[in-house]
Each structure stands twice: as C-alpha cells, then as structure tokens.
Amino acid sequence: MILRGKIVFITGASSGIGAATALAFAAEGARLLLSARRAGKLAEVAAQALERGAVAVHSIELDVRHRHAVQTAIDELPPDWSEIEILINNAGLSRGLDKLYMGRIEDWEEMIDTNIKGLLYISRAVLPGMIVRGRGHVVNIGSTAGELPYPGGSVYCASKAAVRALNDGMRQDVLGSPVRVTSVEPGTVETDFSLVRFRGDTGHAAKVYQGITPLTPEDVADAILWAVKGPPHVNIARIVLTSVDQANSLLFSRKS
C-alpha cells in the first residue's frame, strides 16, 4: 500500500513506540494525526516528523482515558483531517510491580482506563468512519505480557491480554468490510516504559534492560509499517516480536 497522503492517527505519540512510528510513517509521506497527554513532547515529535517527510501534521493534546474528550476530539477534527485511514492504538502504560494483594488500586485504574478503555474509546470513535468509507486499518499495540503473565505484573498483563482479545474480536466484527485489524505484540522495548512504571526511579528502570539487548522503538515501528504496507486483501492478524535475548515475558538470557 502506498502511504503518501494517507491520514495516520497515532495515540501516545509523544515518545517511545508512538514517536518512532510517527517518524516511520512520516518518511513514507503520510499525513500524521498525533495525540498524547504531553503537548510539549508532542510538538517536538511533530516538528521531527515534518523534517522527516510528513506531508502535514495535526496534533491533539488528549488523554484517552476520558471518553467524552476522545469523542469530541474526533468529532471536531477539521474536515480535511476527518477521514482517518490508519489508526495506531499505541497509548498505554504500566504502574508498579506489586503483588496483586498489595497493589495500589489507583495504579490498576490508570492501567485499565488507559490500556483497555482508552483503546475502546478511540476505536469506537474512529472505526465507524472506516466502515462507511470502506477502507481502513487498525493496529493495536499489545505485548508478550498479554500471552504470559509475570510476577508482580498481573493487572498490566491482564490489560494486554484484553488488548489481544479485543483485537481478535474487532477483526471478526469488521468481517465483510475491507477494514483490516492487526495486533503488534512486542517483548521488552527500551523506552520510558520502565521509568513510568517505577515513577522515575532510573536505577530500578535500568535493571529491566540489564544484560540484554532489548528491542528498540524503531524495531516495533518497522513491524507496524510492514503490516500496514501489505496488499489491501492481506490482513496480518498478529505480530509477536522479541529480541534474541528474550523467549517470552518470563524467560531472558542475561549476560553478566
């Protein structure tokens, strides 16, 4: 598929996988609709995307946890930005690494509201237009954590298991239309993910990547781009990718 001029909507685009994906689509000449909570960081990514080759960029300061704000943002898009052809449901996070019986309920709510409900709110606002227009592709960013839970990560892992189920259900629900639905499920990726999880504790965050060569955000962006650029009649249902130092969400080969 030729992506030049296509409107690509990426949530959580201010850093990490979202930012890398924005730059990858920019290099293809796409028109980028970017959203995130951090307007300053989002503006930096938008500027880089234009330098990289994006035809145009439209940014929205948006927290996907807020249903009415999501719907309003989509309803109030300028007419020349309303026909979203590719949606990357990337916004997501993890908080803490506590045992379930010691977990902070506020952390649970933030993960569930962002990773599950946020994906639902965005998809509900965007998918109907794709169905009416008879074209579109939704890419949901999952995780190997959704396939195999790990100690201390039960709620985060459950949220990503939900993404996997929602992805597969969404693909069934659009059957009969040309709309495609793909899940991209990476293993450990070196981003701000762990820094967010441990609330700025750099030492704790660094241990996550200690002794391994993790995926980069660009690796994941490449996988997303590959799935989207396939022939229109081909639907890549699911991509699972890890570095060679990781077999699943529990098993790593760490060098001393």
CB atoms within 10 A of CB 212: 18
Looking at the annotation, which residues are catalytic?
A: 156
Q: Structure tokens of 166?
A: 């929602």
The label of the residue with tokens 């590959």 reads 226
Q: Is 177 exposed, middle or buried (0-12, 13-18, 19+ CB in 10 A)?
A: middle
Which residues 6+ apart lie within 8 Å of 222 measured at CB? 24
**d(C-alpha 158, C-alpha 111), whole Å:** 10
DSSP secondary structure string for all residues of 48-90: HHHHHT-SEEEEEE--TT-HHHHHHHHHTS-GGG----EEEE-
